Amino acid sequence: MNHIEFFGPPGSGKSSVHKELIKEGRLFGGIQENALTRFFLKKAKEKKLPSGHVYKKMPKRLQRFLNNKFFKHRFINASFPEFITENPKFLSVLDSALKITSFETKKVIRILINTAGRYQVSKHVKRECEELVMDEGFSQRLLSILWRTEDDKFSETEYFSAVPKPNRVIYVNAPVNLCIQRQENRKRVISGGRTKQKEAHEICSSIVEFLESKGVEIIKIENTGDVRCATKRIKQHLKGENSYGK
């Protein structure tokens, strides 16, 4: 299944731009949109459960509460075995990440599994007329691994042979100082400060270069201003594609 991924260093504003972009009808944000609601209703219909009718009648606010507090992790974790069945090499990625990450190893494994499950849930409920646009997708997870290793023995080629490779990547970038400032504003500054931030930028450039060499289309956005301006530039690019905007 073709899909788009947002990618970039911490603090570049990926999630903000992603949130704005998926307001476009044909771009499906997956878990960040209404994938959990679709997934619940689909499973209820398949199993002929009356809970589906009850859920439909709930206020949207209550649906969102149940999705985030009860269904989200359950659906993602339940979808992970199916992802492994379709992408068995992903187990070797998990094993390698366990071996080579020098800090926050448990966090890396957790977010890798979460990303796989989110992809699988979104894949199940994406409509034919839609294109999945993932925030924090598989490209971003490669950054999560490489950023926490002390050598360069992890193979990008092997990694992307083990995960669903995006056909397009929206590379959202911003200067190091601006990224750090944004993190400070939201009180979520990465450990390691400026040194680690610069390293993240360098790794991002390397990953983008690799993806380009493998034929993945890269849409580069310098996100230094208003989120709506960045979103507008992405839309203008996507509307030039045959698969979009018809």
Residue 150: per-residue pLDDT: 79
Inform me whether the pLDDT recorded for 174 exceeds 80: yes
Share of residues in the chain with pLDDT > 90 (%)? 73
Asked whether the CA dihedral 110, 140, 89, 98 is positive or negative, the reply is negative
Give per-residue pLDDT as tens, 210-236.
999 999 999 999 999 899 999 999 999
**Calpha distance 172→163 (Å, rounded):** 21
Q: Which residue has the tokens 């993602």?
A: 76
Percentage of residues in the chain having pLDDT higher than 70: 97
For 180, left (φ over 0), alpha (ψ -120 to 50), or beta? alpha
**Taking a C-beta distance cutoff of 8 angstroms, is the pair 179, 12 a contact?**
yes
Tell the burial category of 131 from Cβ atoms under 10 Å away from its Cβ (0-12, 13-18, 19+). buried
Given the structure tokens 């599994």, which residue do they identify? Answer: 113
159 — pLDDT class (breaks 50, 70, 90): very high
pLDDT at residue number 213? 96
SS (H, E, C) the chain: CCEEEEECCCCCCHHHHHHHHCCCCCEECHHHCCHHHHHHHHHHHHCCCCHHHHHHHCCHHHHHHHHHHHHHHHHHHHHHHHHHHHCCCHHHHHHHHHHHECCCHHHHHHHHHHHHHHHHHHHHHCCCCCEEEECCCHHHHHHHHHCCECCCCCCHHHHHHHCCCCCEEEEEECCHHHHHHHHHHCCCCCCCHHHHHHHHHHHHHHHHHHHHHCCCEEEEEECCCCHHHHHHHHHHHHCCCCCCCC
Q: What is the mean pLDDT of the chain?
A: 91
Domains and CATH numbers, the chain: 3-35+89-238 (3.40.50.300)
**Per-residue model confidence (pLDDT) at position 205:** 97
Answer whether residue 30 shows pLDDT above 70: yes
**pLDDT > 80? residue 200:** yes
**Calpha distance 220→56 (Å, rounded):** 40
pLDDT tens, residue by residue, 79-133: 999 999 999 999 999 999 999 999 999 999 999 999 999 999 999 999 999 999 9
Give pTM, 2 decimals: 0.90
- Residues in Cβ contact with 158 at an 8 Å cutoff, skipping those fewer than 6 apart: 89, 92, 93
Q: Using one digit for the tens of pLDDT, what is the confidence trace for 35-76? A: 999 999 998 988 888 888 898 899 989 998 999 888 999 999
Q: Of 28-32, 38-42, 150-154, where does mean pLDDT reach its minimum?
A: 150-154
Is the pLDDT at 175 greater than 60? The verdict is yes
The angle formed by the CA atoms of residues 17, 144 and 21, to the nearest 5 degrees, is 15
- When pLDDT is averaged across residues 8-13 and rounded to a whole number, the result is 95
Cα separation, 33 vs 15, in Å, equals 12
